[in-house]
Amino acid sequence: MKLPAFDYARPASLSEAIALLQGDDAKLLAGGQSLLPMMAFRLAAPRLLVDIGRVPGLDQITVEDGIVTLGAGVRWQQIETSALLAAAHPLLVEAISHVAHLQIRSRGTIGGSLAHADPAAELPAVALACDARIVAVGPAGEREIAIGDFLTGPLETALCAAEIVTAIKMPTLAGRRYGFAEFARRPGDFALAGVCLHYAVDEAGQITGSRVVAFAAVEMPQRLVAVEGRLDGRRADDLNSSELRTALAGEVDCVDDLNADRAYRTALLGVMLEDALAQARDRKGAA
């Protein structure tokens, strides 16, 4: 379908973009990989698109003092090919390899994914697993929002009107093992269920400080605290799959739709958990 009629602006600064967004019925455009399809299907029809592709400084990747900072304009392909991130945050690199197709990864941006907050998206799940903080700028100035406060529901965030995501910050995975598993009917399709996780191993060989997040099968990325409680203090080789599946099933309320029912998604999450744990067990800690 053809896009509905709209006006287009391409500001050269964040302040100009914020001013434009305060007008009636304006939408921010970054990579356009979510917004433009929605417009084509008439699920969205903004009067004005504000393209921040020319705003400088939004496409930078830095690692400093144990913190990875990604500008909101960083595209998926930059993450995939970054040697810096391959060493500092391999979980993120692994997750991004599952995002859609190459053409989409060459255009889609991390800021767009975070603001769109699709429950099946990989980045919000990794962000939650890694205690990320979202940097946003708006008419009231700049603020940092913890990812747990930023994601408020499916396709919903804590962003205020005319507020723009400018960066995401998360700790490196230094010394931590990690795993990422998702299932989709075809490569590049939206996942039906997924799990990402990371943990450290202490001197006794026991798991410590585990973080486990389920996504796609649930309404929004969800930290699996009960599962984490059954990982910490155990050796990776001594985990009880049945116990972990029971813990997972007891704390998730999976969605039930035309793509898959609740029971199937719950069982699938259990398989994804096992796959992610097997990956982590066989990996050395990140650099």
Residue 274 CB neighbour total at 10 angstroms: 17
pLDDT single digits (tens) 90-119: 999 999 999 988 888 988 999 999 999 999
* Residues β-bridged to residue 135: 144, 167
Q: Where in the chain does DSSP place strands (E)?
A: 7-9, 26-29, 48-51, 61-64, 67-71, 133-138, 141-146, 151-153, 156-157, 164-171, 177-183, 193-201, 207-215, 222-223
Helix, strand, coil percentages, rounded to 5, for the chain: 35, 25, 40
- Confirm if 262 and 63 have CB atoms less than 8 A apart: no
* Helix (DSSP H) and strand (DSSP E) numbers for the chain: 12, 14
* Distance in angstroms (rounded) separating the CA atoms of residues 267 and 92: 25
pLDDT single digits (tens) 209-250: 999 999 999 999 999 999 999 999 999 999 999 999 999 999
Domains of the chain: 7-51 (3.30.43.10), 61-169 (3.30.465.10), 178-281 (3.30.390.50)
pLDDT value, residue 260: 94
pLDDT value, residue 234: 97
Q: What is 133-175 written as a DSSP string?
A: EEEEEETTEEEEEEHHHHEEETTEESPPTT-EEEEEEEE--BT
pLDDT value, residue 100: 87
Residues of the chain below pLDDT 50 = none
